[in-house]
Amino acid sequence: MEEIRFVKNIIERDIRSEYGGYLERLKSSEGTKLTVLSHEMSVLQRDVDSINELGNKFFELTNLEADSDKQICRFLSKSKHMYEAIEYYLNKPEKVRCRLL
């Protein structure tokens, strides 16, 4: 009986030790993945804000209620920059990672 208790205690200790290692590795992995996710979210949010800003600028420059000649000149002067910005966002590769659980 004493030998069985001794072996039982050894097994319990080994299980706790092994479980602790798993838990520690999982927490470390979680921290790393949360950091990467947070960075990717901030980059994506910056891109969304820039696209919204570009859209607002476009609508502001194409507003026909203001002096049309000045608006047309302003639009034409900004059109190359807007075109380049649109091309940048259209061609920017996005990280797409989907996994089925």
Cα–Cα distance between 30 and 24 in angstroms, integer? Answer: 10
Cα separation of 58 and 53, whole Å? 9
Query: What is the value of pTM for the model shown?
Result: 0.59
The span from the CA of 21 to the CA of 13, in Å, is 12
pLDDT tens sequence for the chain (101 residues): 888 999 999 999 988 888 888 888 899 999 999 999 999 899 889 989 999 998 888 887 777 665 677 777 777 788 888 888 889 888 887 766 555 44
